[in-house]
């Protein structure tokens, strides 16, 4: 099986992540034009509950698989790899089947009494098959990532995104005459079909690799493959890591669910009608936050590659390599996320108007954009804690942040003078707090910390980049606004990259590590 280095694996996932994020903006842009902000709100309101359910399946199991398989592979213990995979698959399917039954049985009660808008029932029903599909896909994803082969994950994500876009928009359009709730349900059905396509890719890659392994084994008939661990011990080890990680992510997922409920209730307490509150929530979760999270295509790919890489290094006692890998991840997250913050903060109004035809939501983007840097740095820090057997620490940090966020939502969003902006303030405070707590935890555990000079260099480049962007935009070189925006962004990003090279924050050796492009700089 093809194994990639840490940076190459991260770059493969990054390439897929960028493609997927860009493709994902097709429905982000088109869906509000088909079903409006209120329809997007109905579509988004069911997601927090789905995320909670999926957390029980995908929260810790894939990471545990990746970690233990990476360690087993480093020792050449292929028998243990096989038992880890089989045990994890049985565990994941069992949990998914149980939760699917729970969702279907209690769907009428949940949509009526738990979620803030009863119209989400049909969307809720359409998403229920995803639990089993995603549960199986998660095991395959963890298996390939443990082997440090990121190609199947990247390919699966891309195919899933393409299928989801086609069918989400198609079903939303076809079902719109039946009402907004049916259109939102159609969009969710498209997501389910997309997940099924992603699973098909994993199955194809897995059985293709197994066929190659069998042919290789047949050529070495005298090689014995003894069982190193009995299945119960494998299960205990998987649960030992997956339960704390699941707990940490469950806190975040429950926080997301309660966030949606508390925002709706708080906006109602502020005197805002249900339909308007749903539209505000749809704008926040369906339009603004996806823009903020666009650079996480890199940070998430770094986090995914970081877990098996750090686990393997820790198993070999290579603590210098751990410091190096974490510094690479943090530096890449910082340098890649910074220009997005500048663009979103300066051009929030034209971005919202051009992309979504809703320029009135630009203040939301301006308020959240500066906090993006904390979002981008958070993923590698959390991945490091999990890879170094500190999932309980990540859980505690996430829990503290969730409590603070929900408390602030109730206090601020219920004020008529703030409304949805009170919720935004609460989300920003949560993001900053959790990232700082993760950073302090990593510092205490391995002594790692970012250099203040790195932040100073990036900050200076952001200021100069912003000035260049405004200068070019104000020139109005072309008659169409979106073309002027593209030119301003490209020119300012070019200035930013040149400054990064001039300040030696990026050098030729960084570029060499990038697949395909890197060979031209050797």
The structural domains of the chain, with segments of one domain joined by +, span 47-219
Match 């949805």 to its residue by tokens.
420
Weakest mean pLDDT among 333-337, 349-353, 463-467: 333-337
Write out pLDDT tens, residues 89-132. Answer: 888 899 899 999 988 888 888 877 777 677 888 888 888 899 99
Q: Is the pLDDT of residue 461 over 70?
A: yes
Query: How many CB atoms neighbour CB 153 within 10 A?
Result: 26
pLDDT tens for residues 24-60? 777 777 888 888 877 888 888 877 788 888 888 877 7
Where is pLDDT greater, at 201 or 300?
A: 201
Tokens 């295509």 appear where? Answer: 297
- Number of Cβ atoms within 10 Å of the Cβ of 517: 11
Would you place residue 147 in the very low, low, confident or very high pLDDT band (cuts 50, 70, 90)?
confident
Encode 455-499 in three state secondary structure: HHHHHHHHHHHHHHHHHHHHHCCCCCHHHHHHHHHHHHHHHHHHH
* pLDDT score of 237 more than 80: no
Lowest mean pLDDT among 218-222, 356-360, 437-441, 514-518: 514-518
Please give the structure tokens belonging to residue 336.
């890649």
What pLDDT band is residue 5 in, cutting at 50, 70 and 90? low
pLDDT (0 to 100) of residue 515: 44
Look over the chain and give the mean of its residue pLDDT values, rounded to a whole number: 80
pLDDT for residue 254: 82
Q: 257 near 48, Cβ under 8 Å?
A: yes
pLDDT at 472: 92
pLDDT band at 516 (very low <50, low <70, confident <90, very high): very low
Q: Residue 222 pLDDT more than 60?
A: no
Question: Averaged over 433-448, what is the pLDDT?
Answer: 85
Q: What is the DSSP letter of 110?
A: I
270-274, 317-321, 322-326, 379-383: lowest mean pLDDT where?
A: 317-321
pLDDT at 11 over 70: no
Query: Cα(382)–Cα(300) distance, rounded to whole angstroms?
Result: 11
Of 108-122, 198-212, 290-304, 382-396, the range with the lowest mean pLDDT is 290-304
Q: Report helix, strand or coil for 516.
A: coil
Please choose, from the candidates 291, 392, 389, 383, the residue with its C-alpha nearest in 3D space to the C-alpha of residue 343: 291
pTM of the entire predicted model: 0.69
């Amino acid at each position: 099986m093809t194994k990639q280095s840490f940076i190459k694996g991260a770059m493969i996932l990054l390439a897929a992540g960028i493609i997927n994020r860009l493709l994902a903006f097709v429905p982000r842009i088109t869906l509000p034009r088909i079903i409006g902000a209120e329809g997007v709100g109905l579509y988004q309101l069911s997601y927090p509950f789905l995320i909670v359910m999926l957390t029980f399946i995908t929260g810790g199991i894939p990471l545990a698989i990746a970690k233990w398989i990476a360690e087993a592979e480093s020792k050449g213990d292929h028998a243990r790899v096989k038992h880890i995979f089989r045990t994890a698959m049985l565990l994941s399917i069992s949990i998914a089947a149980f939760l699917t039954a729970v969702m279907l049985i209690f769907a009428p009660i949940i949509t009526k009494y738990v979620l803030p808008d009863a119209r989400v029932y049909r969307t809720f029903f359409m998403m229920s098959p995803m639990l089993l599909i995603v549960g199986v896909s998660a095991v395959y994803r963890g298996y390939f990532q443990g082997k440090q082969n990121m190609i199947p994950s990247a390919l699966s994500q891309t195919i899933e995104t393409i299928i989801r876009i086609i069918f989400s928009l198609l079903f939303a359009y076809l079902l719109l005459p039946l009402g907004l709730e049916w259109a939102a349900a159609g969009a969710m059905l498209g997501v389910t079909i997309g997940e099924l396509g992603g699973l098909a890719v994993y199955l194809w890659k897995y059985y293709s690799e197994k066929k190659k392994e069998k042919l290789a084994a047949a050529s070495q008939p005298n090689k014995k493959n003894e069982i190193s661990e009995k299945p119960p011990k494998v299960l205990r080890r998987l649960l030992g890591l997956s339960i704390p990680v699941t707990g940490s992510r469950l806190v975040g997922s429950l926080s997301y669910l309660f966030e949606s409920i508390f925002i709706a209730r708080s906006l109602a307490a502020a005197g805002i009608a249900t339909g308007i509150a749903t539209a505000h929530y749809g704008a926040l979760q369906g339009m603004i936050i996806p823009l903020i999270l666009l650079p996480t295509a890199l940070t998430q790919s770094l986090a995914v590659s970081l877990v098996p890489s750090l686990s393997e290094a820790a198993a070999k006692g290579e603590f210098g390599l751990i410091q190096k890998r974490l510094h690479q991840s943090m530096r890449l997250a910082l340098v890649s996320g910074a220009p997005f913050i500048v663009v979103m903060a300066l051009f929030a109004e034209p971005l919202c108007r051009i992309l979504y035809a809703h320029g009135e939501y630009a203040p939301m983007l301006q308020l959240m954009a500066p906090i993006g840097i904390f979002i981008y740095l958070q993923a590698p820090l959390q991945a490091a804690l999990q890879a170094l057997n500190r999932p309980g620490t990540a859980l505690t940090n996430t829990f503290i942040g969730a409590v603070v966020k929900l408390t602030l939502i109730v206090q601020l969003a219920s004020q008529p003078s703030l409304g949805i902006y009170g919720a935004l303030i609460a989300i920003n405070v949560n993001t900053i707090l959790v990232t700082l707590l993760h950073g302090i935890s990593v510092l205490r555990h391995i002594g790692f910390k970012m250099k203040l000079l790195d932040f100073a260099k990036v900050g200076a480049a952001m200021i100069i980049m912003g000035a260049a962007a405004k200068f070019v935009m104000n020139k109005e070189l072309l008659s169409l606004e979106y073309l002027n925006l593209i030119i301003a962004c490209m020119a300012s990003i070019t200035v930013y990259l040149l400054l990064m090279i001039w300040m030696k924050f990026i050098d030729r050796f960084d570029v060499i590590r990038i697949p395909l492009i890197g060979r031209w700089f050797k």
